């Protein structure tokens, strides 16, 4: 008799809970296919626990230590860290060491936002549908900031599939895209070899002919990029316009975060009927979704979390510097009962809320 798996069932290396405990962190992933933002934490030194929150088509995640932003299908959701509320959370008291509570919901419309990043008090977004970097704005759906030289006008046509941004010195430094094209959906014509990384300040292409680059990140002052279609992590020499393969993972990799000497890399299952991905050479080996943990200096894989059910495609992964964070979402009644101040925090009671 076949075993019926619970939603979001996963298996993991025995050392992963202890590693997360030692690092004092949790991992957040966005899975747009399942419509969930998932926090993965160590319950103790031998077990992991997951907390999933429903968000329609979640993609990029931005966390600056205090504020958490998540890009959804038509919205960007902003949460703030409220550790003083965590202990008294009525649904699960004495469980979390921090709790994220809702602060703002911005309607952006269908921009297909990919990466997000906080830059001081502003939220920078990779606007894939309009092939540009832009700011989250109160007055408009988005405020354009930068576009590649070859994009002649801002149109909702996903011309180059701009998807990722790397930050250096608190400024956008490099972007990744799946094709150098000024035509509607033109990146699809050579998706396995047409990818590029571009310098934001100069507007020049740093390296090209890449296999679906995603998730550019500056780590120890060097530029690293995931090549999704070949399952590789590369290190880019931005001066010479070359790259070296650091690690070959063997699956469709996309989404990574660095924390205290370890790299957390997400991989996804490729949809069999997807017109964009099913014909990739790596499709045959991209049959599962999960996270691998790599010791950065040695490039040794030290742990893995592998989903058995429910999660097939992961877009982003971020490290949350809390042992076990909780979250009150926008659709939960508790959001109306949480009051957080700079030096105090209060929970109302449901019976009080009903009488007001």
pLDDT digits 0-9 by tens, 232-277: 999 999 999 999 999 999 899 999 999 999 999 999 998 766 666 6
Q: Do 162 and 149 form a contact (C-beta atoms < 8 A)?
A: no
Q: What is the chain's percent helix, strand, coil content, to nearest 5?
A: 10, 45, 45
Tracing tokens 């405990």 back to the chain, one arrives at: 21
pLDDT over 70, % of the chain: 94
pLDDT confidence of residue 286: 84
Rounded CA gap, 195 and 208, in Å?
Answer: 6
Rg (CA), the chain: 20
Which residue in 148, 240, 263, 253 sits closest to 211, CA to CA? 253
The tokens describing 231, both together, are 């399952």
The CATH fold of domain 10-74+109-323:
Neuraminidase (2.120.10)
Angle at 234 between CA 230 and CA 235, to 5 degrees: 170
Tokens of 194: 């047409």
Question: What is the distance between the alpha carbons of residues 159 and 184, in angstroms, rounded to a whole number?
Answer: 5
pTM for this predicted structure: 0.94
* CA–CA dist 210, 212 (Å, integer): 6
Looking at residue 1, its pLDDT comes to 38
């Amino acid at each position: 008799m076949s075993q019926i798996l619970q939603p979001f069932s996963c298996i993991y290396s025995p050392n992963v809970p202890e590693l997360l405990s030692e690092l004092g962190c949790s991992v957040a992933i966005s899975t747009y296919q399942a419509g969930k933002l998932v926090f993965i934490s160590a319950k103790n030194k031998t077990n992991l626990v997951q907390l999933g929150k429903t968000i329609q088509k979640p993609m990029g995640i931005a966390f600056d230590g205090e504020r958490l932003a998540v890009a959804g299908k038509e919205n960007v959701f902003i949460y703030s860290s409220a550790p003083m509320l965590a202990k008294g959370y009525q649904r699960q008291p004495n469980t979390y060491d921090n709790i994220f509570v809702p602060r703002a919901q911005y309607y952006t419309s269908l921009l297909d936002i990919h990466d997000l990043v906080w830059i001081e008090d502003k939220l920078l977004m990779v606007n894939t549908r309009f092939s540009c970097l832009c700011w989250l704005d109160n007055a408009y759906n988005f405020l354009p900031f930068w576009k590649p030289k070859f994009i002649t006008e801002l149109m909702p046509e996903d011309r180059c599939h701009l998807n990722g941004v790397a930050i250096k010195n608190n400024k956008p430094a490099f972007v990744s895209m799946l094709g150098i094209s000024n035509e509607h959906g033109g990146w699809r014509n050579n998706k396995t070899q047409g990818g590029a990384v571009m310098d934001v300040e100069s507007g020049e292409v740093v390296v090209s002919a890449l296999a679906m680059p995603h998730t550019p990140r500056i780590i120890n002052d060097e530029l690293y990029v995931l090549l999704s279609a070949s399952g590789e992590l590369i290190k880019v020499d931005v001066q010479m316009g070359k790259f070296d393969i650091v690690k070959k993972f063997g699956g469709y990799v996309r989404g990574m975060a660095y924390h205290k000497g370890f790299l957390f890399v997400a991989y996804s299952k490729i949809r069999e009927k997807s017109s964009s991905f099913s014909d990739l050479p790596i499709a045959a080996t991209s049959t599962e979704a999960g996270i691998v943990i790599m010791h950065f200096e040695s490039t040794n894989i030290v742990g893995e979390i592998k989903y058995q059910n429910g999660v097939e495609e992961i877009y982003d992964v971020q490290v949350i510097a809390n042992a076990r964070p909780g979250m009150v979402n926008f659709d939960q009644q508790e959001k109306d009962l949480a009051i957080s101040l700079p030096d105090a925090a209060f929970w109302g009671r449901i019976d009080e809320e009903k009488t007001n």
